Amino acid sequence: MSFERDVEIPEHSHEAQWGVVLDGEMELTINGEKEVYGKGDTYFIPKDIPHSAKIKAGYRDVTLFSQKDRYRIKK
């Protein structure tokens, strides 16, 4: 994922999610606990756990979801 501007993602939940930060900074709140993640950090969000994020412009990461139908293939 890549963000060109600051973004706030409201609290939600879904299948498990894992990511590694490539650039920038994100404040991630998982199950009520806030952490700040930067370049080189990894995070894990377990299935069905509420979470939200404040993502800063310039943030990039590689994100994997435990949900094969989460996104459609672009044609």
Are the CB atoms for 9 and 1 separated by under 8 Å?
no
Assigned domain for 42 exists:
yes
Residue 72 in 3-state DSSP? coil
Q: Is the pTM of this model over 0.85?
A: no
Q: What is the CATH number of the domain that holds 17?
A: 2.60.120.10
Q: Is 57 inside a domain boundary?
A: yes
Residue 48 resides in a domain: yes
Contact 37, 23 (CB under 8 A): no
67 within a domain of the structure (yes/no): no
Q: Total structural domains in the chain?
A: 1
What is the distance between the alpha carbons of residues 67 and 61, in angstroms, rounded to a whole number? 18
pLDDT in tens, 12-68: 999 999 999 999 999 999 999 999 999 999 999 999 999 999 999 999 999 988 776
What pLDDT shows up at residue 65?
Answer: 83
| Range(s) of the domain holding residue 23 | 7-29+36-61
In a domain, 73, yes or no: no
The reply to whether 71 falls in a domain is: no
